Chain A
Amino acid sequence: MNLLYNDDQRLLADSAREFLAARSPASRQRALRDEPQANGFDTRLWQDAVALGWSAIPFPENLGGLDFGCMGLGPIFESIGCNLSASPLLSSVVLSGSLLHLQGNAQQQDCWLSATISGERRLALALDEHPRHNPARISLQAVPNGDGYSLTGDKYCVIDGVGADGYLVAARTGDTSPSQAHMSLFLIPADAPGLTVIALPLIDSRNHARLQLEQVQVGPQALLGEAGSAMPALDIALDRGRVCLAAEMLGMSEKLFAMTLDYLKTRVQFEVAIGSFQSLQHRAAQLYVDLALARSAVMAGLAALDDTRLSEVERQRLASLAKWKAGQTAIKVVNEAVQMHGGIGVTDELDVGLYLKRIRVAQASLGDADYHCERYGALELAHAHA
């Protein structure tokens, strides 16, 4: 397993950095907040990103993809973090696209995956039903009805849920007690009767939604794969999303650290730059250490997504490590960034606050540090017992 980007990935990193710095810097996120759009992102920016091939990166060529590997998503999400750029890359491509690729049949892929890659349609994954992420707690039931199913229940916090063309809804086709069993995925168009989408405005000013399903009737063609068989694919897709979020948080952290370091060197109090104070120097040095470790964990997580020689457990372990380390580091870095900026740090004028808000949402998405610590531990301790 290689922990460095290769030449192609570095080129992609350069172009992503340039593209987002020009088209979607942090000031653009501020504008999206102040003049809200239902989508939570700039539609033209997304179309141009699609034209650059971003939505095709992780998919095989026969499905219209670039076969570039998930590691190629790393530099893009780092840039997304660095510039605070909003886009449906995570929700529609990484999560929903991966599920269609891994679990969908040819007809579903024809109809939805191609349109997702081309940017004509946008999908969102409706998963969690509680304020904290945990797929094992999904209890929305899909009850057999004729040759199809009837779905009733609520979904909490669907990423980019407002205005999506369709939803991949995780539901139980069997016992609903907390477990990994009987997990199924249904592809439900946004206009399905009984489906209500309610915006969930979070601190990061992006697109989040609650979904209410009231006896939504679907045919057998809505089911991805066999009933009750979705957990392995879901787990892979979620791990991709987690590592991409980790890369985004790393990008945010590195940007914040650079801003803070600059401030320490230029802000003068008591006639000296405050960065000459040892109490601040040691804290800054500690952040540098955490960032170095976080980068290693993120690179390993990205590499694990593509490495077919790794066991499933090893992939899960590395994905959780990446999300855990990047999440912990991001919170530490941004909290220190606010504190070290002093009074200006708590003003809305400074971009640090925008990063702070996005980091907290990214931390909660797809499992926070505590969730991934528990997951990593369970994988390791099961191994130790065996």
Chain B
Amino acid sequence: MNAIDQFREQTRAWLEANCPPSQRKAIPEGELVWGASEVEFPNADAQLWFERMRDKGWFCPDWPAEYGGAGLSPEYNAVLESELRRLKCRPPQINLGIWMLGPVLLEFGSEEQKKDLLTPMTRGEVRWCQGFSEPNAGSDLASLKTCARDAGDHFVVDGSKIWTSYGDKSDWMYALVRTDPTASKHAGISLIVLDMKSPGVSVAPIDLISGKSAFCQVFFDGVKVPKSQLIGPLHGGWNLAKRLLQHERKAMSKFGEFSLPTHFHLLPLVSQYLPEPAGHSESALVARAVASAMNEHSYNLTVQRMGEEARTGQDVSGLMSIMKLVHTEQERDKFEVLLDVMGYRALGWDKGAFSPQELAITRGWLNSFALTISGGASEIQLNVIAKRVLGLPDVK
């Protein structure tokens, strides 16, 4: 038996013995474990699974051993990933640091930064949040204004970040800040990391139209950040940000693999809620609902086709560029139809008179508005398709 087969066998045996059966099912939202200075575990099995994977170095299996990883080559890492998938093992922890900042640090960080920042990540001891968007820098991220003023051995940070997920629960933030206000907008940006307990940092959770949310606004008022916490070159943050966002896409698809789909099938709900025989307006609603379901079916087939094309080595960048737009616009459309189909049953705010599913649909509808805005608004997606895929010219 060659070394890699041996590794597969050992890995399989170790996972069989060490992954508690309860940790081999899709995770409901409430049972996600976030690596942090004070980890909250939903149950003892989750803690056991967390600790065993941590001690194995398998939070970051492909990172070098000197920073706390397991030092697996891509080939061995792929074996581990396929075995984890085969057993349907939950990720032992969720950590933005590992998925997004970590790879950028490995590529661009100084030796000291790697030691100081990566090692706690591999032990699941720090919860990271991302400071990118600002109240006046959304779709146009590069116009961000939060500034880091040079004050000798440290920067002084002033400004505000918004849409920071779990800003109130995070230990550290990686953030894009303006270090050169005189340079052109892309050229004056740097990437820094900072301790959320630093004096001058304050966090305010944001309530959305759907109610409580994970989003926060973070304010910086004269926050001192040592210069050793600058990642990569001074004023060279924009390239790092682009790299981070590439990792974000990968991370989000990984995330999707494990979480339970909060997915509503439209047509069964139509039969459940619309009276029979249908009147004229109800027949029109059925037609809208069926059209919506057919568009969703076409989208699912497109996901399948893109996978097949990628496997045969074809260029799928064009198809990739439409996915976020199509999926989120269809979700919006689906909820709009559902609201009309269900009438008052989809307009409930509090439990009592409404089923949990009905309340979830109401909240899902309200949440769906954010889908076509966050992560690149639909209009930005259309710009990308028009310019990068179709090659339409810029305005002179």
Contacts and interface: CB of A to CB of B under 8 A. Distances in A.
B271 A292 contact: no
B325 A289 contact: yes
B299 A293 contact: yes
A145 interface: no
Interface in B361-396: 379, 381-383, 385-387, 389-396
Nearest to B301: A296
Contacts of B396: 271-272, 276
A307 interface: no
A285 B325 CA distance: 11
Interface stretch (A43-51, A52-60, A378-386): A378-386
B308 interface: yes
Nearest to B302: A296
Given A276-B392, A281-B382, A381-B271, A299 B322 contact: no
A300 B301 contact: yes
Contacts of A300: 301
Contacts of A2: 308
Contacts of B243: none
B239 interface: no
**Chain B interface secondary structure, helix, strand, loop or mixed?**
helix
Contacts of A297: 297-298, 301
Majority SS of interface residues in chain A? Answer: helix
B298 A265 contact: no
A289 B385 CA distance: 9
B271 A288 contact: no
A361 interface: no
Interface in A255-303: 261, 264-265, 271-273, 275-278, 280-282, 284-286, 288-289, 292-297, 299-300
Question: Which residue, A280, A285, A286, A324, has most C-beta atoms of chain B within 10 A?
Answer: A285
Nearest to A286: B382
Given A261-B390, A276-B393, A370-B287, A282 B301 contact: no
B382 A4 contact: no
B395 A321 contact: no
Interface in B107-155: none
A3 interface: yes
Contact of B385 (A4, A288, A299, A376): A288
B319 interface: yes
A179 to B, nearest CB: 18
Contact of A325 (B298, B393, B394): B298
Contacts of B395: 272, 276-278
A381 B270 CA distance: 8
A289 B298 CA distance: 11
B305 A282 contact: no
B156 interface: no
Interface string B59-76: 000000000000000000
Contacts of B298: 293-294, 296-297, 321, 325
B363 to A, nearest CB: 24
Nearest to B309: A4
A264 B392 CA distance: 8
Interface string A210-247: 00000000000000000000000000000000000000
A143 interface: no
A319 B92 CA distance: 44
A120 interface: no
B304 interface: yes
A373 interface: yes
A4 B308 contact: yes
Contact of B267 (A272, A295, A377): A377
Nearest to B387: A281
Given A293-B298, A321-B298, A3 B392 contact: no
A292 B390 contact: no
Contacts of A286: 382
Given A288-B390, A292-B322, 9 more contacts: A275-B392, A281-B392, A282-B383, A285-B381, A285-B383, A288-B389, A289-B326, A293-B298, A380-B267
Interface of A: 2-4, 261, 264-265, 271-273, 275-278, 280-282, 284-286, 288-289, 292-297, 299-300, 321, 324-325, 370, 373-374, 376-377, 380-381, 384-385
21 contacts: A3-B301, A265-B392, A265-B393, A278-B395, A281-B382, A282-B379, A285-B389, A288-B389, A293-B302, A294-B298, A295-B305, A296-B298, A296-B304, A297-B301, A325-B294, A373-B287, A373-B294, A374-B287, A377-B267, A381-B270, A384-B267
